[in-house]
A and B are shown apart, each in its own frame.
Chain A
Amino acid sequence: MKTYTEQAVVLGLLTVLGATGELWSAVAAAGTVLLAGLAVGLAERLGRGLPLIGAAWEGSVRWGVLTGVGFAVSWLCGATAPFVLPLPASVARWIQWSGLTPIVLVAAVRPVRETVRLWGVFLCVMLLTAAIREGFGNGTLGGRLAPMGFVTPSSIFRTPVGAFLLAGAWVLAARCRMRRHMDGEALNLA
């Protein structure tokens, strides 16, 4: 995985595919992933830093605790999100599972700067995917009639078909952009 977009799509695949049917669902799921990620990062630093735990902070214990922290945060977010945002009931499940996606756990293994950049790209991917899926699939944006609302909604965008095709399109676009950038650098050197 070379580009940040590629990493964001694959590491957060469950959320990118499942929670981008509507814009508010994507906002809630992305927010949950970021909160769970922050909690995991904090737990990792605490686990490493405390002298009593530090020695045992390896292998299964470490990953068990970090997974538990991520899942606990996303479970709570999934239970509270429908009271805060206008979400369909089925989305609460995707929010509850989002704490188990690998993108939450990267906070424990990568440098802070790299993790923040990855999460930023993930947030953009989530919001763009949701805007396209809801806009073209339902004719609305955030539940309100979209500017392109006069277009007949194409329900394929709301199905997993649209989710897979858009995820593939982001990866392909990122790779094409990187190649163009590299070709440009090669031309400058020549």
Chain B
Amino acid sequence: MNPTLKMFVDGWFADNPVFVGLLCALPALVMPERAKTAVAPAIRLGAVFATIAVGGGLLAAALPSPLLPVVVLAGTATGIGLLRVWGELRGEWAGLPKSVLVLAPLAALQLRVAELPGMAEAMAVAGGAALGFAWAFIALGAIREAVRIAECDPVFKTLPVMLFSMGMFALALYGFVLL
């Protein structure tokens, strides 16, 4: 397989940013409520993650390294602004603005792209990560919905089952790492 295409496909499975890369685990754990209502946020978040990762990452790579954290923070703020304009990240979570959920994913994806050698690789990694995040987000929405209506002990409901499920997804995706 073409190495650039492999980078793109790895983002879906072998290097999935939720289950294997872990960068986007928090928004995927907390945000989706149901599978059906998770589709639109997954597309919006994925699109913004990819755009900011490519834009911020390439800019960070082009500028001197002392400016790297400043560029990454500016890119992160732009990404949050875009998501807010798109109707996401409104309200609070755990007493904090909901935008704190995407701070680390946006910054980490830019830093990751900044280490890549060229535009094609940057787009492949960012696009693969966005698609990988989107399907994981929707899958976790479906799991949360199923857990909420399941007849099980309340101590298992939602968070423990979600985390164990993410572990099982990671275990399944590690099969692709071994390929």
Contact = CB atoms under 8 A, between A and B. Distances in A.
Interface of A: 1, 6-7, 10-11, 13-14, 17-18, 63-64, 67-68, 71-72, 75, 93, 96-97, 100-102, 105-106, 109-110, 156, 159-165, 167-169, 171-172, 175-176, 179
A54 B33 CA distance: 37
A14 B23 contact: yes
Interface of B: 19-20, 22-23, 25-26, 29-30, 69, 73, 76-77, 93-97, 99-101, 103-104, 107-108, 111, 155-156, 159-164, 166-168, 170-171, 174
B112 to A, nearest CB: 9
Contact of B77 (A10, A64, A162, A165): A64
Contacts of A100: 103-104, 107
6 contacts: A68-B73, A97-B111, A159-B170, A161-B170, A165-B167, A168-B161
Contacts of A63: 97, 99-100
A63 B99 CA distance: 10
A4 to B, nearest CB: 12
B164 A168 contact: yes
Contacts of B96: 102, 105-106, 109
A102 B163 contact: no
B25 A102 contact: no
A160 B159 contact: no
B25 A13 contact: yes
Contact of B166 (A93, A97, A164): A164
B20 to A, nearest CB: 6
Contacts of A64: 77
Contacts of B25: 13-14, 17
Contact of B20 (A102, A110, A160): A160
Contacts of A175: 155, 160
B167 A161 contact: yes
B57 to A, nearest CB: 14
Contacts of B155: 172, 175-176, 179
A156 to B, nearest CB: 8
B159 A10 contact: yes
Contacts of A165: 163-164, 167
Nearest to A13: B26
Contacts of A93: 108, 111
B164 A164 contact: yes
A101 B160 contact: no
Nearest to B106: A100
Contacts of B170: 159-161, 164
